[in-house]
Structure 1
Amino acid sequence: MSEPIEVEVRPAKERDAKVIAEIQAAAAQAAFKAQFPGEPMPEFDSLKKSQAYWREAIEFADPQVLVAVADGEVVGFVGFDRSRDPKTPATMGEIWALYARPSHWDKGVGLALWDAARDGLIDEGCTKVTAWVPLGYERALRFFDMAGFKREMTSIKTVLVGLTRIEEIRFKRDLK
């Protein structure tokens, strides 16, 4: 890991929606390029559409959104809430999204966001948490492994990102 930086985690504000969308796009593009070197990027949602999604999420706390701030700049975010998976108990939480600027990878941003999301999920009465992670995104797979999540091998599913099919696996862990 690079030299850790000092990170403050706070609830997102509506004005953060634009930078959240930009961070998500930049991190997804960097992860895709690592997984599929030399292949053209699939079409992701437009920044405008993504920004509208995150603005609404922040406004209605669905999911709850926290941002990581370093040197006065938003450098990452996490969205979390109850699990969206069918037939899960009300005590099952989910990390809906966790992204950091590629320039801030390996500096403790993801860990700070995970710690804050875990506390928020516990406050909501959750006892377990899941996260869906693309199988080829080695950085994210390592992160969730190191954060104590276990891979549910029978959960693998294929999702479309633009015209590209990507396999995802569900990770799960206790919040205790």
Structure 2
Amino acid sequence: MSHYEVRPATMRDAKAIAEIHAAAARAAYKDLLPEEELRALAPATREAKWREAIEFSEPQVQVAVLGDEVVGFVGYDRSRDPKTPSTTGEIWAIYLKPEHWDKGAGVALWDAAREGLDEEGCTTVTIWVPLRNERAMRFHELAGFKREMKTAKTTAIGTVKIEEIRLKRSVA
């Protein structure tokens, strides 16, 4: 039983979401990116993006809260990948404050996203994960995602190129 409550994000959550996104990305990518790129992952560059996402539900955003504190978030919607069926959903982002890693908040967020995608009529769900982000890869594989080996691609984060792979599973 999780101690975390998951609810739809509100505009008041945008600043916390941006701060979590930046802090979690810095922690997750500390072995993948140089220090100057990690410093560039600042909340100020993300808050407007998350405000817009919350306002227009693109992606749909839910937050995990513990008491009054927002500790994580998930953004999900239809897949952005070309040529995917309309029944394919995608986890666009899932991040937690690092001090809440391995405590059940990620599973609570994944469960909420899965329910939301199911309500939208999605039968499969994908997520793109950096190959060298072992923590994220392990989390998603434990949640039943399988690597789609032919989907590997190179993505730029600032000036650094990283390899990503798409993972996929059924929504049910």
**TM beyond 0.5:** yes
Residue of structure 2 equivalent to 1:55:
51
Amino acid of the structure 1 residue aligned with 2:3? E
Q: What is the distance in 1 between the residues matched to 2:36 and 2:124?
A: 34
Counterpart check, 1:65 vs 2:52: no
Residue of structure 1 equivalent to 2:29:
32
Deviation at 1:46, TM superposition (A): 4.2
Deviation at 1:41, TM superposition (A): 4.1
Q: What is the distance in 2 between the residues matched to 1:117 and 1:92?
A: 13
Counterpart check, 1:171 vs 2:167: yes
Residue of structure 1 equivalent to 2:147:
151
Count of equivalent residues: 171
Point out where structure 1 has 5 or more consecutive residues left out of the alignment. none
Preserved contact between residue 29 and residue 41 of structure 1 (Cα < 8 Å): no
Equivalent in 8, 17, 21 of residue 14 of structure 2: 17
Residue of structure 1 equivalent to 2:89:
93
Deviation at 1:44, TM superposition (A): 3.7
Q: What is the distance in 2 between the residues matched to 1:174 and 1:83?
A: 13
Q: Percent identity?
A: 61
Counterpart check, 1:83 vs 2:106: no
The structure 1 segments of at least 4 consecutive aligned residues displaced by more than 2 Å after TM superposition are 43-49
Of 27-36 and 118-127, the range deviating more from structure 2: 27-36
- Give CA deviations for 1:36-81 in whole Å, capped at 9, x if unaligned: 5xx4241645422310000000000000000000121000000000
Preserved contact between residue 26 and residue 41 of structure 2 (Cα < 8 Å): no
Q: What is the distance in 2 between the residues matched to 1:41 and 1:6?
A: 36
Amino acid of the structure 2 residue aligned with 1:157? K
TM-score by length of structure 1 reads 0.93
Q: What is the distance in 2 between the residues matched to 1:132 and 1:103?
A: 23
TM-score by length of structure 2 reads 0.95
Match of 1:30, SS state, is helix
Q: What is the distance in 2 between the residues matched to 1:40 and 1:77?
A: 25
Aligned-residue Cα RMSD (Å) equals 1.4
Counterpart check, 1:74 vs 2:80: no
